[in-house]
Amino acid sequence: MSLLRTVELRKQFGATLACNGLDFTVDKGEFLSLVGSNGAGKTTLVNLITAHIRPDSGQILFEDRDITSLSVAARIKAGIARSFQLVNLFDGLSVFDNVALSIFARDGKTARIAALAARDGDVRREAREVLGEFGLAAKSELPAGELAQGERKLLDVAVAYALRPKLLFLDEPTSGVSSADKAQIMDTVSSVVRSGAVTAVVIEHDMDVVFRYSDRIVMMHEGSFLADGPPDAIRANDAVASILLGLSPEG
């Protein structure tokens, strides 16, 4: 059953066609990787689905409901969350507060002004639990700005995950970290996401990571889909191989 479906989704920036009438589907419960060279349109597609930008034309359906005109806040409420390519955290707040805030926002508690945030036992318990799952419990009192890069990437995912979305987009969760950290981050992220029964769409450049963790891989090139299938099929696809080797698909 498809959780998300786009119909003829199109977005053009000047002369660049970032999304060329895309029909993109995400099935419930899968761990999908979106791959392709820089400028292939991966981030644009995610930005369109999460309402960061508006499409020129086309439709976005989430659980068979048209969400094309919904605001960012309404889409989050519907169950779509995301993390960002460049780490986007609240650096002045503690690691704990970063996650707690996500829970407060999800539960509509951010308007509470007459109670201390630290006194909310439910939120405190859940925030601790999420931080534990992501292996950040020991750092919870540190300001987020003082974490190491790998931990920042994990916290970025944890903040999005704490919204308890049905569909979670992760834009390059392992960019800018060492390859040793990459495996650790992806192990953590994939196990949390799978145990939480969250459907995840990951934009990723490292093909080792992609082949190892994905249920399905979708390859983009110049605003269109080039290939779509399970890791083995993608590995055997000549067009994909030539792109990955930096050749043009025609050549």
49/191 Cα distance (integer angstroms): 24
Pattern 30-69, another protein, x by CB under 8 A? --------------------x-x-----------------
199/169 Cα distance (integer angstroms): 9
Q: Which of residues 74-113 bind another protein (CB under 8 A)?
A: 76-77, 81-82, 84, 88-93, 97-98, 100-102, 104-106, 109-113
Looking at the Cβ atoms of 86 and 180, the one nearer to another protein is 86
Q: How many residues line the site for another protein (CB under 8 A)?
A: 38
User: Which residues does residue 11 pair with via DSSP β-bridges, in sequence order?
Assistant: 19
Decide if residue 127 touches another protein (CB under 8 A).
Answer: no
239/226 Cα distance (integer angstroms): 8
Looking at the Cβ atoms of 125 and 230, the one nearer to another protein is 125
Decide if residue 138 touches another protein (CB under 8 A).
Answer: no
Kindly compute the dihedral angle of the four CA atoms of residues 149, 45, 64, 69, in this order, to the nearest 10 degrees.
100
Nearest to 76 by CA among 201, 3, 11, 166: 166
18: amino acid identity, one letter: A
User: Least distance from C-beta 46 to another protein, angstroms?
Assistant: 11
- Residue 150's CB is within 10 A of a number of other CB atoms, namely 17
Binding another protein (rule: CB under 8 A), the pick from 163, 200, 202, 209 is: 163
The encoded tokens of residue 79 equal: 């169950």
Looking at the Cβ atoms of 59 and 88, the one nearer to another protein is 88
Burial class (CB in 10 A: 0-12, 13-18, 19+), 135: middle
The residues that touch another protein, with contacts defined as CB under 8 A, are 50, 52, 72-73, 76-77, 81-82, 84, 88-93, 97-98, 100-102, 104-106, 109-118, 120, 141, 159-160, 163
